[in-house]
Amino acid sequence: MTTETKNDSGRTGVRGIGLAALRGLALALVSLPGAVLCFVLSAVSIALIPIGVGIVTTPYVLTGVRAYANWRRVLAAEWGGVRIPPSYRPLPKDANPWGRTFGMLGDPATWRDLRWLPADMTAGFVTALLPPVLLLYPLEGFALAVGLWRVMPDGYWYGFVPVSDQTSALGAGVLALAVLFCAHFFTPRLLDLHFRLTRAVLGSHQGELTERVRVLTETRRDAVDTSAAELRRIERDLHDGAQARLVAMGMDLGTIEALIERDPAKARELLAQTRRSSAEALTELRELVRGIHPPVLAERGLGDAVRALALRLPVSGEVNVELPGRAEAPVESAAYFAVSEVLTNAVKHSGADRIWVDLHHAGGHLRVTVTDNGRGGAVIGAGSGLTGVERRLGTFDGVLAVSSPAGGPTMVTMEIPCALS
């Protein structure tokens, strides 16, 4: 946000100044009557609540005020690059006027709106009006210098210059030039100041906090769901796989014990089978372990784990790692499985014959890019594996971006905020 506003105040071209002055004029013309109207209507409507009329009118008036404030929020974003997120509490759709009135009055955002109206009709109005004034006032000075002074009555003041003859009129011209010079510097800044003022009064950090809480609630629910599903899968795999095989082995060993004297040949046959069962049980356990926490990841960290992953791909992969340390185990694990899923996707759907993976850490973020030379067309959502990846990363405030034009190439970028140790 700050960088955007800086960019705007730095824009001091002639067009920029003209535009700022024009916008300032428009804002000044709107803000004073708009704010006054909204304020008066709100005050009257709220004052009428005790006699009942206000109960009916207040929701409509306050909705109007919100619309007006929202319109100004949009202008602040479009003209000044100043984002002011609205943070009104949602009202129940079927609420009666009573509920609506007191619901709205109980919302701190409503009171912020009402506090903003007087600020907007005074300081806001001035800061909006100054840019056009700074640009228009010099015109009068120049006109005086050129000859307008002749038709003006004696003792006419332009700024602090009394205009009575050509010399003083030229003085007014010089002052006009000075004002114009100032306008060059201040016009965009004043408009910027107007928007910042709007944000200071109208904006609230509550909105961002609410959004943050919503995201956290959502990602936590996802994380809990995912880990519960994972535990169920592990339990089922153990139960149906290794555990069952070990039971069978126990039974076979019992049979062997009984057979060893009577039928050594049969016993030997069963022994071979038992050994095969134990090998299969081990293979299953190994696969299971790999699905929970891959050994290479535990032993070597993310970089080598991804390298090992690339070695297992049926297409040729190139892995570039620049990680000066290791991230926390849960982050490493999330990143690993995310990369694994993206690679699987690429192999299955892209038709690519080359894949590049790039891992690096910069600015407090772990960034992983997976690029393939396939036919593209990958999207997040619609039951694609990428949605699962997005969720997985979401738990760590990570984000996923996919660039995949039809015809390729596909580039999947993942970013997780984390520190390396």
Partner 1 sequence: MRVVLAEDLFLLRDGLVRLLEAHDFEIAAAVESGPELARALAELEPDVAVVDVRLPPTHTDEGLQCALDARRERPGLPVLVLSQHVEQLYARELLADGSGGVGYLLKDRVFDAEQFVDAVRRVAQGGTAMDPQVIQQLLARRSGDDRPLARLTPRELEVLELMAQGRTNAAIAARLVVTERAIAKHTANIFAKLGLEVSDDDNRRVLAVLAYLDHGR
Point out which residues bind partner 1 (CB under 8 A). 275, 278-279, 282, 286, 289-290, 295-296, 298-300, 304, 307-308, 311-315, 353
Strand partners, 53: none
Backbone angles phi, psi at 75, to 5 degrees: -60, -45
DSSP-derived 3-state class of residue 171: helix
What is the number of alpha carbons within 13 Å of residue 220 lying toward its C-beta? 6
Expressed in percent and rounded to 5, the helix, strand and coil fractions of the chain are 70, 10, 20
Nearer to partner 1, 234 or 313 (CB): 313
Q: How far is the CB of 304 from partner 1 (least distance, A)?
A: 6
Q: What is the largest CA-CA distance in the chain?
A: 137
Total residue length of the chain = 421
| Least distance between partner 1 and beta carbon 283 (Å) | 8
CB of 329 to partner 1, least distance (A): 12
Nearer to partner 1 by Cβ, of 213 and 298: the residue is 298
Smaller CB separation from partner 1, 326 or 367: 326
Closest contact distance (angstroms) between CB of 226 and partner 1 is 24
The residue among 314 and 381 lying less far from partner 1, judged by its C-beta, is 314
Contacts of 269 (CB under 8 A, 6+ apart): none
**How far lies 212's CA from each of 189, 222, 336, in Å?**
32, 15, 26
Nearest distance from C-beta of residue 113 to partner 1, angstroms: 59
CB of 265 to partner 1, least distance (A): 20
Smaller CB separation from partner 1, 63 or 373: 373
Cα–Cα distances in Å, from 288 out to 194, 283, 294, 337? Answer: 61, 9, 9, 14
In the complex, least distance from residue 252 CB atom to partner 1, rounded to whole angstroms: 15
Which is closer to partner 1, CB of 63 or CB of 278?
278
- Count helices and strands in the chain by DSSP H and E runs: 14, 7
Question: Cβ 296 to partner 1, closest distance in Å?
Answer: 5
For partner 1, the closer of residues 214 and 293 by Cβ is: 293
Q: What one-character-per-residue DSSP string does 122-139 give?
A: IIIHHHHHHHHHHHHHHH
Nearer Cβ to partner 1 (196/300): 300
Torsion of CA 233, 237, 243, 248, to 10 degrees: 150
Q: How far is the CB of 297 from partner 1 (least distance, A)?
A: 10
Q: Give the nearer residue to partner 1 in terms of CB position, either 6 or 293.
A: 293
> CA angle, 394 as apex, 392 and 398 as ends, to 5°?
105
Alpha helices, H only, 81-107:
97-105
Cβ proximity to partner 1, 213 vs 253, nearer residue: 253
Query: What's the rounded Cα separation, in Å, for the pair 1 and 7?
Result: 10
Question: Measured on CA atoms in the order 324, 330, 333, 337, is the torsion positive or negative?
Answer: negative
Dihedral class, residue 92 (left if φ above 0, else alpha if ψ from -120 to 50, else beta): beta
**Distance separating alpha carbons of residues 300 and 209, to the nearest angstrom:** 38
Beta pairing class for 410-417 and 161-163: unpaired
Report CA Rg, the chain.
36
In the complex, the smallest distance separating the C-beta of residue 282 from partner 1, rounded to whole angstroms, is 5
